[in-house]
Amino acid sequence: MSAASELVVYFDEVFIEHEAPDGAYHFPPHDLLAVTEPHPDRPERLINIRHAIKRALADVTTWEAVVPATSAHLERVHEVEYLAYLKQRSAEGSGRLNPATGVNEATFEAARHATGAAIQTAERALTGGPDEVPYALVRPSGHHAQPATADGYCYLNNLAVAAAHARATGRAERIAIVDWDVHHGNGTQEIFYDRSDVLTISVHNDFGAWGPHHPQTGRANEQGVGEGIGYNVNVPVPPGTGDRGYAYVFDAIVEPILEVFEPELLLVGAGQDSGQIDPNGRNLLTKEGFHDLGCRMRELAAHCAGGSLGIVQEGGYQLSHLPFGTLGVLEGVLNVDTGVEDPFTLLEEYLPPVETWTREAGAIHAHHWPLQFDPASDK
């Protein structure tokens, strides 16, 4: 194994203690079913990733304690009343905040620590050594959490709080968040929708709006409002998008926009539920595809962001494939080859649909960024 960088992992055992209620997958139990199952956001997700890092990347990894986010950190993004509600519901024990998102007595502390780890990741990215890559190995995830709403297994928006902290403390004037979780980062979009200092880019399947607690569609025409117009970049991709499709999206839209924006900090929402056999997505990324995304982020950070790169864990729910996909990301950002191969490469992708969808999204975003596509006549 050859390495060019050191991985700095922020992890806390409280992440393992958070559990949502069992049911019919992530929904409440159903009378038709005799057997319930664990919620897909299971503690074993992080246990497997941690084990993979210790087995494959031990020589280049250091582990750091997590300092939980304070109320002042959280209130830059979330409403005070919502924080009090979330803390109370967690203290009450097991229950559901909405059909897919539930709590236990550890949820609030786990979420507060996850947000703290994201803050530490952003700070380390800005102040650490040039050969360090900080990584927040956290759960619960954060990118669906809105200012006053828990959503999609998310309670506090880890990436948004970290970005807001970097801005409020003057550590970075321009921040970019790239989110390749298979689900739209609707909470992050909502938080920064009227701002031009935080560029949000989300590449995801087109799930659309999920109901009153998730009204954002994730479509390309959701571009921001006021000063934020053009700084929210959604790129929906069709089911079956794999390694070549993601490479096309990043070549055509993501990288050209980042090169123009020139962030001082690049944060990545690394959700590996876009992997081949994830039950929550319908895409076909392999470990090699995730490795390519990690490489691209490393190179873009070096070229556009002075090397300031931070990785924050988001989704990924197939317990066996998630560690392989995540290892691919980490190999890419570290410039490491562990020799570990992906045993789950099962399907070939069909490229034309993602090319068509990308051209359609690119024509919308070309109104604000110098892309290869002609601007659409109707924004």
The values of phi and psi at residue 358, to 5°, are -70, -40
* The pLDDT value given to residue 377: 67
* The pLDDT value given to residue 1: 42
Residue 329's H or E segment, with its range, is: helix 321-334
* The pLDDT value given to residue 2: 42
Q: With beta carbons less than 8 A apart as the criterion, state whether 112 and 145 touch.
A: no
Q: With beta carbons less than 8 A apart as the criterion, state whether 104 and 90 touch.
A: yes
Supply the pTM of this predicted model.
Answer: 0.97
Q: Which pLDDT tens digits describe the chain residue by residue (379 residues)? A: 444 689 999 999 999 999 999 999 999 999 999 999 999 999 999 999 999 999 999 999 999 999 999 999 999 999 999 999 999 999 999 899 999 999 999 999 999 999 999 999 999 999 998 899 999 999 999 999 999 999 999 999 999 999 999 999 999 999 999 999 999 999 999 999 999 999 999 999 999 998 888 999 999 999 999 999 999 999 999 999 999 999 999 999 999 999 999 999 999 999 999 999 999 999 999 999 999 999 999 999 999 999 999 999 999 999 999 999 999 999 999 999 999 999 999 889 999 999 999 999 999 999 999 999 999 765 4
Handedness of CA 270, 57, 340, 244 (dihedral sign): positive
| Token pair recorded at residue 261 | 């924006």
Q: With beta carbons less than 8 A apart as the criterion, state whether 367 and 229 touch.
A: no
Q: What is the DSSP letter of 251?
A: I
* The pLDDT value given to residue 4: 63
| Token pair recorded at residue 208 | 């659309």
Q: For residue 311, which of 74, 53, 93 has the smallest C-alpha distance?
A: 53
Enumerate residues 6+ apart whose C-beta is below 8 A from 352.
none
∠83-84-90 over CA atoms, to 5°? 90
* The pLDDT value given to residue 379: 43
Q: With beta carbons less than 8 A apart as the criterion, state whether 362 and 221 touch.
A: no
Q: For residue 220, which of 359, 355, 361, 358 has the smallest C-alpha distance?
A: 361
Amino acid at residue number 54: K
* The pLDDT value given to residue 113: 99
∠33-36-41 over CA atoms, to 5°? 135
Q: What is the DSSP letter of 368?
A: T
Q: What span, in angstroms and rounded, lies between the C-alpha atoms of 230 and 233?
A: 7
- Catalytic residue IDs: 144
Cβ-based burial of 282 (10 A; exposed 0-12, middle 13-18, buried ≥19): middle
* The pLDDT value given to residue 100: 95
* The pLDDT value given to residue 3: 46
Q: With beta carbons less than 8 A apart as the criterion, state whether 253 and 233 touch.
A: yes
| Token pair recorded at residue 271 | 């959700």
Q: What is the pLDDT of residues 340-358, one digit of tens each?
A: 999 999 889 999 999 999 9
Instruction: Report how far apart the first and last C-alpha atoms of the chain are (Å, whole number).
Output: 48
Enumerate residues 6+ apart whose C-beta is below 8 A from 275.
281, 283, 284, 285, 286, 290, 316, 318, 321, 322, 324, 325, 344
* The pLDDT value given to residue 211: 86
Handedness of CA 341, 39, 75, 199 (dihedral sign): positive
* The pLDDT value given to residue 102: 97
Q: For residue 286, which of 239, 321, 236 has the smallest C-alpha distance?
A: 321
* The pLDDT value given to residue 378: 53
User: Domains of the chain, with CATH numbers?
Assistant: 6-365 (3.40.800.20)
Bridge partners, 175 (sequence order): 198, 265
